[in-house]
């Protein structure tokens, strides 16, 4: 019986972790915020997200792309230019981020008092 409940909880855990994985880490949010402000070239993003290395930016964008949150568009100018933008689906993160913001904001009020 208690075992049954624990199993249920573990099943609950996975989707929550999935959501967290997408948002947590040093760079995810800053990148997502930058993308919320508009479409962006790779270099632009690197400038906007202070301190991020090319390697990390590349990796994080790939992650977001795999999760269908970001769309990568290549223009065959020379040299090539690439644009990243949030997908329609990616924008559904906004609600979630707002919830996090609300909780985080009142938490600040509770802690720094």
Partner DNA sequence: CAGTATCCCTCGGGATACTG
Partner DNA sequence: CAGTATCCCGAGGGATACTG
In the region spanning residues 3 to 22, those forming contacts with DNA, defined by CB under 7 A, are none
Among its own copies, DNA, none, residue 103 binds (CB under 5-8 Å by kind): its own copies
How does 81-107 read in b/e, with b if 16+ C-beta sit within 10 Å?
eeebebeeebeebeeeeeeeeeeeeee
- CB 7 to its own copies: min, Å: 12
Q: Does 72 bind DNA (CB under 7 A)?
A: yes
Beta-sheet strands, E only, within the chain: 40-41, 70-75, 81-86
Q: Which of 6, 13, 39, 58 binds DNA (CB under 7 A)?
A: 58
């Amino acid at each position: 019986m208690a075992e049954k409940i624990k199993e249920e909880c573990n099943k609950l855990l996975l989707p929550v972790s999935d959501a967290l994985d997408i948002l947590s880490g040093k760079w995810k949010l800053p990148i997502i915020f930058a993308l919320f402000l508009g479409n962006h070239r790779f270099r632009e993003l690197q400038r906007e997200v202070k301190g991020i290395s090319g390697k990390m930016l590349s990796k994080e964008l790939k992650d977001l792309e795999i999760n269908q949150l970001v769309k990568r568009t290549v223009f065959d100018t020379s040299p090539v230019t690439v644009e990243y933008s949030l997908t329609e689906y990616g924008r559904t993160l906004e609600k979630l981020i707002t919830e996090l913001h609300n909780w985080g904001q009142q938490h600040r009020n509770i802690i720094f008092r």
